Amino acid sequence: MFVLKFGGTSVATSENLKKVRNIVSEQSESQKVVVVVSALGGITNQLQECALLASEGKESYKEVLQSIEKRHIELCNELLSVKERNNTLTRTKLLLNDLEDIYRGVFLIRELSPRSLDHILSYGEVLSAAIISDYFRSTGLDTLLLDSKNFIKTDNRFGKATVDAKTTYTKIQKEFESAAQISVCPGFVASSKNDGLITTLGRGGSDYTAALIAAALEAKEIQIWTDVSGMMTSDPRLVPNAHPIEHLSYEEAMELSHFGAKVIYPPTIQPVLDADIPVHIKNTFQSDNPGTLISKDGPENGQVVKGTSCIQEIALCTLTGSGMIAVPNISYRLFGSLSRQEVNVIMITQASSEHSITVGIALDDIDKARQAISEEFSYEIETHKINPLEVETGLSIIALVGSRMKKQVGVSAKLFDTLSHNGVNIRAIAQGSTELNITVVIDKKDLKKSLNSIHESFFLSDRRKLHLFMIGVGNVGQVFIEQVKAQQEYLAKKHNLDVYIAGLANSRQMYFHEEGIDLENWQDLMENNHQKMDTEKFVEKMKDLNLRNSVCIDSTASEDIAKLYKDVLESSISIVTPNKIACSSSFNNFKELTDSAIKYKSKFLYETNVGAGLPVISTLNDLIKSGDEVHKIQAVLSGTLNFIFNNYDGTQKFSEVVQAAKEAGFTEPDPRIDLSGVDVMRKILILARVSGYKLELDDIVNNGFVPEECMNTDSLDEFYTKLDEHDEVFKEIYKKADKQNKRLKYVATFVDGKSQTGLEAFEADHPFYNLGGKDNIVLFHTNRYSDQPLVVKGAGAGAAVTASGIFADIMKIASA
């Protein structure tokens, strides 16, 4: 025999009931089945509302009653043909008439006792079971309606009666001795053993009815048919990647249910757990879906963490004080006082120092808990042995559940690591010695981010989501967006990674979309959004969205944006930047930023600061981290200047070649930064700092070649004009080198703590001589590379290579 329980949504409409009928028909082909039904979805609430209105003397109860009546009559009409529906309608109307009389009584005497409420609420299941059994019979199923009140026997605690299991089991066995192929019974309802008064089984009552019947009849399986495809790995309203769990042990299911996964209510299915009857949770609306099987022994292998569940809002009550240390009865008194006030304790933590005990409770219980504990410890509080109770709210609780956690090291480490990388502070931790559950308490605002990042960490099938916020959509920024667009599908397929751009800004506007900006259309979206760029608001918005794996990309050359880095990093949002301003600002600021990134577990990556997409900084980092020491760096670090001196031969105007470099996208937004040598100074400074030297920009000697008068200009047009006025200077420089068969390169050197930059002419045998196009070259002379330097060489400027360098930094964050 199988026992099938259908919840309120499954029996809510005639359409749903047709699905229920097909399931029952299929299951009853090979064995007898007992079908336990809930009231039609929403009816129990209406019955209760109607009762309250009547008890308050409000005539409006009649409207609610009418709608209850209408629902049931319409259901009869929809399910049964005209010929077949007479008896059903008559019985339904009789029941509804009784109900009307009871409500009138409540209305007249303005009294609603728990006993009358139980009586009223029982009509929901009684009505649905009667209609459903008639419907099954009318469609050719061998069906008998049984009244659970006759065999589920309880005490007289109305509202949540206690079942007398022995009497109930005996009565069930007797009742089902000659059961039809299909027996339909109302869930939730029962009657008192001594006087036969109607009682109800409280929350999860229909599950309980089904469990009692299954246990008494030693059923092969109990099936809970509901509107979801089993117990989920997390709450799907908060974690879109959540998916049904195939198989759970009873203990795992209970742990998950305790923390909010409301598919089953464990206390009510205790009878089947005791009798070791498997529980199968299935979706009425997707009956082919395997659902979740809950049995004594969960699967031997499979996921270590089966699922996460949460309670969205709890309070933490903490008792502290030196008067608690080594005093044996403190916990006894604390929990005793809470229990006397019927305060349910959700979690407990106590450090071995015994200086504090923290309990997690429901928000509704705060006042009761405060009073109970304050009274219990009033003497100790008055005498300052114990501090007044501290109550914190705005907190959520997350539990990681899985019986295989106890065989696995590193689960807590992974959990804490995941949360810390996303800047989530853990307020309290609890883990039972069974290691079935690890529980953390966090700030409520971090709940969604935490659940999603935990899910991504523990369920390998999940695609990891990366949320990018990009400031600066110019030359480099635009190409980067194109690259993301082109790579999105590949990254999803090959790297299980969803890269979204959640925010964009230029100097005028900003635009956000939490689910990811449509990259086909981003210019229009930005333009039409009319949200003025405000740097502080941009950062605030990133923080408010509080999305997991957030990365801010600064693709501007702005000092204002560079000033925001500290705040961003301290919010555990990583930074990827081609903008050199921050790394070449004061050494203290640079150090503060790298320290903040370490402290707040964010990443601060700036590979594209030197050599665009070339692996210059990562190579240097690898050398330093592995214990090498850098003594000397010789480099050509300006793509712009290399391009200019590779293309200038004195036959054209120097300014024309500068403008060609700008048009090709090699220069800084302001090419005077390149021409002055400042860009090269910044780069060698950054290399020196990464090598471990404490250097400032002012320490670098720059031997510029552009006359001061050109540099001291107010606009680019003026700059180009001045370059033209000094064209002879550039011709002379070129001719001099050319005469000696030398080529001009703007070189940066760093030797044992000292650095200089400037234009130099090289002969054909020098490695710099043949450096073509806009290439860069860096020679690292180190302890290990003493005979021959380590050389990094290649394109050192241009939007495409820079954008791909940014991308590479982002992939480092994704795989961290």
Ligand X SMILES: NC(=O)C1=CN([C@@H]2O[C@H](COP(=O)(O)OP(=O)(O)OC[C@H]3O[C@@H](n4cnc5c(N)ncnc54)[C@H](O)[C@@H]3O)[C@@H](O)[C@H]2O)C=CC1
Query: Catalytic amino acids?
Result: 683
Taking the CB of residue 49, how many other CB atoms lie within 10 A of it?
14
Consecutive H or E run containing 312: strand 307-320
Residue 554 is a binding residue for ligand LTNE7NMQ (CB under 6 A): no
Smallest gap from residue 736 Cβ to ligand LTNE7NMQ (A): 24
Residue 475 is a binding residue for ligand X (CB under 6 A): yes
How many residues are recorded in the chain? 816
Percentages helix, strand, coil for the chain (3-state, rounded to 5) are 45, 20, 35
Which residue is associated with the tokens 């996208």? 665
Sketch the per residue contact string, 568 through 607, with ligand LTNE7NMQ: x for CB under 6 A, - otherwise: ----------------------------------------
What span, in angstroms and rounded, lies between the C-alpha atoms of 220 and 122?
Answer: 28
Listing from the earlier edge strand, what are the strands of the sheet with 221-226?
A: 143-145, 182-186, 33-37, 2-6, 221-226, 279-283, 292-295, 247-249
Segment contacting ligand X by CB under 6 A, of 58-66, 111-119, 589-597, 792-800: 792-800
Residue 291 is a binding residue for ligand LTNE7NMQ (CB under 6 A): no
Distance of CA 570 to the CA centre of its chain: 20
**Binding ligand X by CB under 6 A: which of 477, 671, 677, 704?**
477
Segment contacting ligand X by CB under 6 A, of 45-53, 425-433, 622-630, 793-801: 793-801
Which residue is associated with the tokens 């795989």? 815
Taking the least distance from each CB to ligand LTNE7NMQ, the nearer of 294 and 612 is: 612
Residue 506 binds: one of ligand X, ligand LTNE7NMQ, none (C-beta under 5 to 8 A by kind)? ligand X
Nearest to 455 by CA among 365, 553, 549: 549
Residue 561 is a binding residue for ligand X (CB under 6 A): yes
Taking the least distance from each CB to ligand LTNE7NMQ, the nearer of 464 and 580 is: 580
What span, in angstroms and rounded, lies between the C-alpha atoms of 307 and 235?
Answer: 9
Which residue is associated with the tokens 């333009």? 527
**Binding ligand X by CB under 6 A: which of 148, 273, 798, 814?**
798
Residue 667 is a binding residue for ligand LTNE7NMQ (CB under 6 A): yes
Size of the site for ligand LTNE7NMQ (CB under 6 A): 11
**Binding ligand LTNE7NMQ by CB under 6 A: which of 221, 674, 775, 809?**
674
Which residue is associated with the tokens 């008067």? 323
What span, in angstroms and rounded, lies between the C-alpha atoms of 501 and 552?
Answer: 10
User: Which residue type does 41 have?
Assistant: G
Taking the least distance from each CB to ligand X, the nearer of 145 and 799 is: 799
Residue 669 is a binding residue for ligand X (CB under 6 A): yes
Taking the least distance from each CB to ligand X, the nearer of 242 and 473 is: 473
Nearest to 146 by CA among 185, 199, 95: 185
Residue 676 is a binding residue for ligand LTNE7NMQ (CB under 6 A): no
536 burial type by CB count under 10 A (0-12 exposed, 13-18 middle, 19+ buried): exposed
How far are the Cα atoms of 290, 376, 653 from residue 223, in angstroms, in the given order?
12, 46, 85
Non-local (6+) Cβ contacts of 790 within 8 A are 619, 623, 779, 780, 782
**Binding ligand X by CB under 6 A: which of 474, 707, 758, 794?**
474
Residue 674 binds: one of ligand LTNE7NMQ, ligand X, none (C-beta under 5 to 8 A by kind)? ligand LTNE7NMQ
Collapse the DSSP code of 101 into the 3-class scheme (helix H, G, I; strand E, B; otherwise coil) and give the result.
helix
Sketch the per residue contact string, 718 through 747, with ligand LTNE7NMQ: x for CB under 6 A, - otherwise: ------------------------------
Taking the least distance from each CB to ligand LTNE7NMQ, the nearer of 175 and 679 is: 679
What span, in angstroms and rounded, lies between the C-alpha atoms of 507 and 581?
Answer: 17
Residue 640 binds: one of ligand LTNE7NMQ, ligand X, none (C-beta under 5 to 8 A by kind)? ligand LTNE7NMQ
Nearest to 71 by CA among 98, 104, 47, 37: 47
User: Which residue type does 754 have?
Assistant: K
Sketch the per residue contact string, 634 through 663, with ligand LTNE7NMQ: x for CB under 6 A, - otherwise: ----xxx-----------------------
What is the binding site for ligand X (CB under 6 A)?
Answer: 471-477, 505-507, 533, 535, 555-558, 560-561, 578-580, 608, 612, 665-666, 668-669, 797-799, 802
What is the binding site for ligand LTNE7NMQ (CB under 6 A)?
Answer: 612, 638-640, 666-668, 674, 679, 796-797
